[in-house]
Amino acid sequence: MTQPSRVIYLPPGVMPAPTGHAAAAPSGIPFDRTFFEQVLPGSIAAFAKQITCHQPIVQLLTIDGATHYVKGVAGLSESWVALHTQTEDPDRTAEVFVPFTTVFRLAIHACDEHNRRLGFILNRQPAPEPA
């Protein structure tokens, strides 16, 4: 049995875009303040719930080739995000300030039972912006 070529199968929890509406104008930067405030926390929580994982691994890659294992979002501005990160070295944590324009890819992975220190800390709120 063949399926029509127009059928798109979405993963559980992903909703298709509404039809019949004009497409929203792209902002130009896919990973912006709105993404880190509104999209990413919900995406991590939904992923963790689907696979029953309390601290999924969130990996952020930048255009310079750096990989950051994100434990939480420490702060946001209109042009950058401050990330609480963990390196693969267990003794090194860092706060990394990343311009939105340099974020290349974000990936959410299942928990690593042998390496729990790399997991994202759920239910953490970003720090308020300095006045």
Is residue 58 assigned to a domain?
yes
Is residue 65 assigned to a domain?
yes
Is residue 75 assigned to a domain?
yes
For the record, the structure tokens of 124 come out as: 């953490």
For the record, the structure tokens of 14 come out as: 């992903």
pLDDT score, position 14: 62
Residues 6+ positions from 104 with CB-CB distance below 8 Å: 61, 62, 63
Is residue 6 assigned to a domain?
no
Is residue 12 assigned to a domain?
no
pLDDT tens-digit series, residues 25-74:
555 788 999 999 989 988 888 888 888 877 888 999 999 999 998 988 98
The more confidently predicted of residues 80 and 90 is 80
How many structural domains are present in the chain?
A: 1
Tokens 């090194």 belong to residue: 92
Distance (Å, rounded) from C-alpha 56 to C-alpha 48? 6
Q: 12 - beta bridge partners? A: none
Average pLDDT, the chain: 77
Percent of the chain at pLDDT above 70? 63
Distance (Å, rounded) from C-alpha 116 to C-alpha 72? 14
Is residue 112 assigned to a domain?
yes
pLDDT score, position 126: 47
Task: Print the domain residue range for 50.
Answer: 33-118
pTM of the model: 0.67
Contact (CB, 8 A) for 31 and 103: yes
Is residue 107 assigned to a domain?
yes
pLDDT score, position 121: 67
Distance (Å, rounded) from C-alpha 23 to C-alpha 26? 9
Q: Which of 15-29, 82-96, 107-121 has the highest mean pLDDT?
A: 82-96
Biggest alpha carbon–alpha carbon distance for the chain: 61
> What is the mean predicted confidence (pLDDT) over 122-127?
52
Is residue 85 assigned to a domain?
yes
pLDDT score, position 13: 60
Tokens 């006045």 belong to residue: 131
The CATH number of the domain where 83 resides is what?
A: 2.30.30.100
> What is the mean predicted confidence (pLDDT) over 77-105?
88
For the record, the structure tokens of 18 come out as: 């509404």
